[in-house]
């Protein structure tokens, strides 16, 4: 359900998307509110689930994760239970960073990050291909990430 956000809430979200480590006092100064109302607004955004969590964005290359692959999957069976079983199994695998249900040719797209092509191949052969009900999978290896954003373009405030 879409939440109604005013301009102050949107300003807070914009600031936190850029740097979630800023002190509340500084956020308040940027939006023209004192500490307490700024704190209350942030807590309200968290309670409503608009702010889901705070994370550190890591440079994957600097920790040895050189390969990003989008693996498209088609299932053999399309029953609700078969879909849920696949989703539960795939979602529990740490190497799968994203699991997206699709319309069209493929049923799912998995984003998988790995140290190198050999490790990725072993993962696909030993893990992905052994998930029950997989009919086919097709891997697309990312050659270069031209644009990679985590920020959402926020809508204008509701009046």
Structure tokens, 116: 């190198």
State the Cα–Cα distance between residues 108 and 96, nearest whole angstrom.
12
- Each residue's pLDDT tens digit, 101-130: 999 999 999 999 999 999 999 999 999 999
134-141 and 96-101 as β-strands: parallel, antiparallel, unpaired?
unpaired
Model confidence band, residue 3 (pLDDT cutoffs 50, 70, 90): confident
Structure tokens, 101: 């249900």
Question: What is the set of domains in the chain, with CATH numbers?
Answer: 7-47 (1.10.10.10), 60-141 (3.30.70.920)
Could you tell me how many helices (H) and strands (E) the chain has, helices first? 5, 4
pTM of the model: 0.84
CB 96 within 8 A of CB 113: no
State the Cα–Cα distance between residues 8 and 41, nearest whole angstrom.
9
């Amino acid at each position: 359900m879409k939440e109604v956000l005013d301009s102050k809430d949107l300003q807070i979200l914009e600031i936190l998307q850029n740097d979630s480590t800023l002190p509340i006092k500084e956020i308040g100064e940027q939006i023209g509110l004192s500490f307490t109302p700024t704190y209350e607004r942030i807590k309200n955004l968290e309670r409503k689930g608009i702010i889901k969590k705070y994370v550190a964005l890591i440079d994957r290359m600097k920790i040895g994760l050189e390969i990003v692959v989008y693996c498209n999957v088609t299932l053999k069976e399309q029953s609700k239970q078969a879909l849920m079983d696949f989703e539960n199994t795939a979602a529990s695998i740490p190497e799968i960073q994203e699991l997206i249900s699709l319309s069209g040719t493929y049923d799912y797209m998995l984003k998988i990050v790995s140290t190198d092509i050999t490790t990725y191949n072993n993962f696909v052969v030993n893990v992905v291909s052994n998930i029950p009900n997989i009919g086919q999978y097709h891997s697309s290896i990312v050659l270069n990430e031209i644009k990679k954003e985590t920020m959402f373009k926020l809508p204008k405030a509701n009046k």
